[in-house]
Amino acid sequence: MACLPSPAILVFICMLALVPLVHSVPFIVLHGIGDKCSSRGVAKFTELLSNWSGSQGYCVEIGDGGWDSWTMPLLEQTAIACEKVKNISELSEGYNIVGLSQGTVIGRGVVEWCDGAPPVKNFISLAGIHAGIASIPFCRSEWFCILVDALVKLEVYSDYVQEHLAPSGYIKIPTDISGYLKGCKFLPKLNNEINNTRNSTYKERFSSLDNLVLIMFEQDTVLVPKETSWFGYFPDGAFDPILPAQETLLYTEDWIGLKILDEAGKVKFINVSGGHLQISQSDMKEYIVPYLEDQASIQMMRRETSSYEWLSSMWNFLLELVGFTEDQPLLRTMD
């Protein structure tokens, strides 16, 4: 007569049936202008998010980091990020993006334009430049500021400036919209602004995000206006007032799918205290980490009580099947 399997084996088999085949969703970090993945701040930021969320984080470097972030055209930076994402095998089943300032628009470029890339699930934007800015962001050395000013005076929408100064790709002068649409090489394409060249694929890909988290910094003086982090901006032709995202044409005509996401409750407009990218660890834990955690594991934890009750009943049934009772010790000792 065949032997019955031991209770431990039977229970183990039952427990396997409860465990879903899940994996932790990794994330990438795209840093801001003048920074690099190896800098203390970015490295620590990535490490903390990885530790707190339990998901593997990768900082994606473009070129040499600091210098190239200023001088390499954003279309080229985005293309490099696209290829790097496709070559990280751990991202192949999907990943999340955490973008910092200039890194937010590069990240959106990856979402909208990167053919053959794995799907992006959650997009977390810190101090994003989504609707553009009306002035060049800060530079950290006096001689470089002089160079930047000289380039801008050559006309920000000229081919030369567009090819040699990355921020020129998202400078949007409200009183020169025709020059912007004609000469700016990056943001008009990213935001699907040019009427006769709008691409439905960009909208389809962007609106497929599970969540779009837009974090604006209340004391941000680097981005003008700071509301660009929420897709807010000046009206065409004037520097006043600042329109909320919902009153811009990008939203009302839904050029990129922002309205679709918002009406589905997938856009989180978050305002935190601090200057540009000055985020506290408590705000990181509250506003970023939840969108990096393994959601499948969280759902399993929520079902823990009901699963335990089911498993307890199955356990008692198996014990009775093989001749054990609840008051019979499983471990026997010899005198």
Q: Is 220 a catalytic residue?
A: yes
CA dist list (Å): 189 to 64, 75, 100, 199, 262? 25, 10, 20, 9, 21
Residue 330 scores a pLDDT above 80: no
Q: Are 123 and 108 in contact (CB under 8 A)?
A: yes
What does the alpha-carbon distance between residue 57 and residue 46 come to, in Å, rounded to a whole number?
A: 6
Q: Which listed residue (130, 220, 229, 262) is catalytic?
A: 220
Give pLDDT, residue 135: 79
Question: How does pLDDT run across 52-84, given as a tens digit for each residue?
Answer: 999 999 999 999 988 999 999 999 999 999 999
Residue 7 scores a pLDDT above 70: no
Q: Is 276 a catalytic residue?
A: yes
Question: How does pLDDT run across 27-58, given as a tens digit for each residue?
Answer: 999 999 999 999 999 999 999 999 999 999 99
Q: Is 130 a catalytic residue?
A: no
59 beta partners: 29
Residue that wins the pLDDT comparison between 276 and 295: 276
> What string of H, E and C letters represents the secondary structure of 216-275?
EECCCCCCCCHHHHHCCECCCCCCCCCECHHHCHHHHCCCCCHHHHHHCCCEEEEEECCC
HSE, CB side, 13 Å, CA atoms: give it for residue 140: 7
pTM: 0.80
Question: How does pLDDT run across 195-246, given as a tens digit for each residue?
Answer: 989 999 999 999 999 999 999 999 999 999 999 999 999 999 999 999 999 9
Q: Which listed residue (101, 125, 207, 229) is catalytic?
A: 101
